[in-house]
């Protein structure tokens, strides 16, 4: 598994369904100047996946306030995405999801982000936090049965923005409003003395 942290996020251009119904070709570079949470999921019309897509949608306004775009990706076609987006939640669908859901039908995006399971032809649950300059700042890869924590992604966006703004580092379990520290020995001692 490749580590992309600290590297430029691989560019992509692909068809997506946006606003729950419209087809649009998007590129990662369309979101330059914004933070991006790019997440991969295995397949449309499955089981853990709709819980994740809805969880991201439920926090969409929080991400927007953080100048952060959410983008979902799977190896399904944009037609499959649209059909799933037209399926009610009560029937296992993702109706109501408005952020872009990208079609990686050729599996190039999944391969570039090193989340593709070649023998299965699907992606692991990869999540990438990309900064405003297009650099990957965090990545998490979950195996297929393990759903991700959307609140943790919000915490990570907030931590990244805090470090950029204040030049301090965020210790373990840091949350917005908590004490951070200067990235030196004196800062560590001051942190532990509280």
- CA 10, 12, 18, 20 torsion-angle sign: negative
Single out the catalytic residue among 21, 49, 68, 170: 49
Asked if 68 is an active-site residue, the reply is: no
The number of beta carbons lying within 10 Å of the beta carbon of residue 68 is 25
Q: What share of the chain is helix, strand, coil (3-state, %, to 5)?
A: 30, 25, 45
DSSP 86: T
Q: Based on C-alpha coordinates, what's the Rg of the chain? A: 17
DSSP 166: H
Q: What residues are labeled active site?
A: 49
């Amino acid at each position: 598994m490749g580590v992309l942290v600290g590297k430029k996020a691989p560019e992509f251009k692909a068809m997506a369904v946006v606003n729950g119904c419209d087809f649009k070709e998007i590129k990662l570079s369309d979101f330059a100047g914004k933070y991006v949470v790019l997440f991969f999921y295995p397949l449309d019309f499955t089981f853990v996946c709709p819980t994740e897509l809805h969880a991201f949608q439920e926090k969409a306004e929080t991400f927007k306030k953080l100048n952060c775009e959410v983008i979902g990706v799977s190896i399904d076609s944009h037609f499959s995405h649209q059909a799933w987006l037209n399926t009610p939640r009560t029937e296992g669908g993702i109706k109501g999801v408005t952020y872009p859901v990208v079609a990686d039908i050729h599996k190039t995006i999944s391969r570039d982000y090193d989340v593709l399971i070649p023998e299965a032809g699907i992606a692991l649950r990869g999540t990438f936090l990309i900064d405003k300059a297009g650099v990957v700042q965090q990545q998490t890869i979950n195996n297929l049965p393990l759903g991700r924590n959307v609140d943790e992604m919000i915490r990570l966006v907030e931590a990244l923005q805090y470090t950029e703004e204040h030049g301090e580092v965020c210790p373990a379990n840091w949350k917005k409003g908590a004490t951070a520290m200067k990235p030196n020995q004196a800062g560590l001692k001051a942190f532990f003395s509280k």
